[in-house]
Structure 1
Amino acid sequence: METAKIRILVLDDQPLLRYGISGYLNSQPDMMVCGEAESIADVRSKIAECQPQVLVTALRLGAEDSLKLIKKLKTETPQLRILVYSALAETIFAERAMRAKANGYVMKQAAREELAIAVREIVKGGIYVSRQVALSAFQKSLQPRPKNNRMPRSGAWLEELSNREMHIFQLLGSGFGNRQIATSLGLSVKTIDSHQENIKHKLHLRSCAQLRERAAKWVEQTFDAEEYVSRDAGQQRKWKLPPRRLRVVEALAASATPDSELAAGTSATASQPVRSPPAPYARNKGV
């Protein structure tokens, strides 16, 4: 008797990336992509339509809040397994995704085989994190927090921000105005202003100009920003796209790409701890 294939829904606002990921997962003998979604608004109808076992989703979905989506979906459909993939190795993003009840976190720079390994692991009831994330978490656990509560590690100050504040900080750095952010998040401009003041206070910044400058620099450094045009409600809007996202499509679609930037990741079942990872991966800033 033939074993039923794992049913997967892929969520990403980048059509090319969805195509590459879906194509690779469909090539696995035990997997089937039953649907694709380009926005959070599409997800629930797609889940009802194809009844996936696994949702494979990008962490960054334009102006949409993926962490909030993960929390809601795990409340509404607790049996759904959620695998997040991202170009961000900083542990804060993986930690918040896992706290939102995601079942796994995979780096986009990882080998394409790692995506399939992660899907199989979480379907069995385990958890999965890429080695770079596991390594960062391990290194972080060894660092004491300074008495002045200000942490020297790169990007560590983001830990002071709530999920909502971090999302708004990212949107500010991507060039959104307060009114645009309010519209995107379904909040009032006054609420966005209040969040902005809280962010300034937590980051010890004196003005909105300083906040936007800090946010823009962080977005540029974090996402290796490259402009591209996306459509939102029939209007063209500029977003930021890291070149690494295009790389993932190449890695997933290429038929003869045996080598990888990163070895297979680290997985663990719910009853087993994540093992200590090997030597750190060196980022290539020229890519």
Structure 2
Amino acid sequence: MQRTRTSEKSVKRIVLIDDHPIMRHGLAQLIRAEDGLDVIGEAGSAREGLDVVAKLRPDLAVVDLTLPDKNGLELVKDIRALHPSTQCIVLSMHDETLYGERSLRAGARGYVMKEEAADHLVAAIHKIISGGLYVSEALNARMLEQVTGATRSKATGMDALTDRELEILALIGKGVATKIIASQLSISARTVEAHRAHIKEKLGMSDGAALVRYAVQWVESRAKV
């Protein structure tokens, strides 16, 4: 069915950045079924995603956190810095209690867990395009408590890790060597070691073996989500 001239003018253009083709296909069908929305491009990595955004200049990018070449949080930061007219929403399998606020701080306008995409993604897209933010009621309540001072306790454990430290922890858990981590993230091996030391300190660990065990268990637990 052809769109009317009016709807063609108002249609919002979206790109999908996710390394799973089947997931992109399903998301594209979900979004295109909604009047006023269209998927104009797809990418399976952060590098491809940035290229697609630069070429197509979409209204919004749906970004997965786990990409083969770069953390999705860093991609959101790149998109917002280089193409501020393109809004971002993070769609991830990972628990929003750890990544929701981080995504908003990176520049995303919303966070939706993949298991809730069928029920909430389209509504989230409409809200963001209209100038709003979209998070779950639980995360919204948590953020309001922090703003109003209801919870002022210092961040501890995983919450205390920076985005980069969290990224490095995930790579450690996947068995990636320090030199490879340094190369992948375009930083020095010494910087990676400094991050490892900070992670151990924040997680209350005294040695590298304990950190590796923790990282492996954490990565495995995320994979089961």
Q: Structures share a fold, TM > 0.5?
A: yes
- Per the alignment, residue 200 of structure 2 pairs with 200
- Per the alignment, residue 39 of structure 2 pairs with 33
In the aligned structure 2, how far is the partner of 1:71 from the partner of 1:130?
Answer: 22
Shift of 1:106: 0.8
**More helix by percentage:** 2
Mapped pair 1:74 → 2:80: yes
Q: CA-atom RMSD, angstroms?
A: 2.1
In the aligned structure 1, how far is the partner of 2:210 from the partner of 2:69?
Answer: 22
Contact 1:89 1:132 in 2 (8 A): no
Contact 1:12 1:57 in 2 (8 A): yes
Shift of 1:42: 1.0
Shift of 1:198: 1.7
- Per the alignment, residue 281 of structure 1 pairs with none
User: What 5-or-longer segments of structure 1 have no aligned partner?
Assistant: 225-241, 243-287
In the aligned structure 2, how far is the partner of 1:166 from the partner of 1:202?
Answer: 11
- Per the alignment, residue 157 of structure 1 pairs with 157
Contact 2:18 2:24 in 1 (8 A): yes
Q: 2:113 aligns with which of 107, 116, 132?
A: 107
- Per the alignment, residue 166 of structure 2 pairs with 166
* Higher RCO, 1 vs 2 (CA within 8 Å, ≥6 residues apart): 1
Shift of 1:220: 2.1
Which digits, 9 at most, give the CA deviation of each residue in 1:6-58, with x for residues without a partner? 10000011112111111211222211100001111112321233221010111
Mapped pair 1:64 → 2:88: no
In the aligned structure 1, how far is the partner of 2:67 from the partner of 2:15?
Answer: 15
Which digits, 9 at most, give the CA deviation of each residue in 1:167-190, with x for residues without a partner? 101111122221221222122222
User: What 5-or-longer segments of structure 2 have no aligned partner?
Assistant: none
Shift of 1:144: 5.5
Q: 1:126 aligns with which of 114, 127, 132?
A: 132
- Per the alignment, residue 2 of structure 1 pairs with 6
In the aligned structure 1, how far is the partner of 2:22 from the partner of 2:177?
Answer: 28
Helix, strand or coil: the match of 2:40? strand
Which digits, 9 at most, give the CA deviation of each residue in 1:212-241, with x for residues without a partner? 1111122222331xxxxxxxxxxxxxxxxx
What letter corresponds to residue 176 of structure 1 in structure 2? V
**More strand by percentage:** 1
Q: Give identity over the alignment, percent.
A: 31
* 1:1-287 correspondence to structure 2 within 5 Å: 1-3=5-7, 4-134=10-140, 137=143, 142-143=150-151, 145=153, 157-224=157-224, 242=225
Contact 1:71 1:100 in 2 (8 A): yes
> What TM-score results when the alignment is normalised by the length of structure 1?
0.69
Shift of 1:2: 2.0
> What TM-score results when the alignment is normalised by the length of structure 2?
0.87
In the aligned structure 1, how far is the partner of 2:141 from the partner of 2:217?
Answer: 25
In the aligned structure 2, how far is the partner of 1:217 from the partner of 1:171?
Answer: 12
Shift of 1:104: 0.8
Shift of 1:101: 1.4
What letter corresponds to residue 57 of structure 1 in structure 2? V
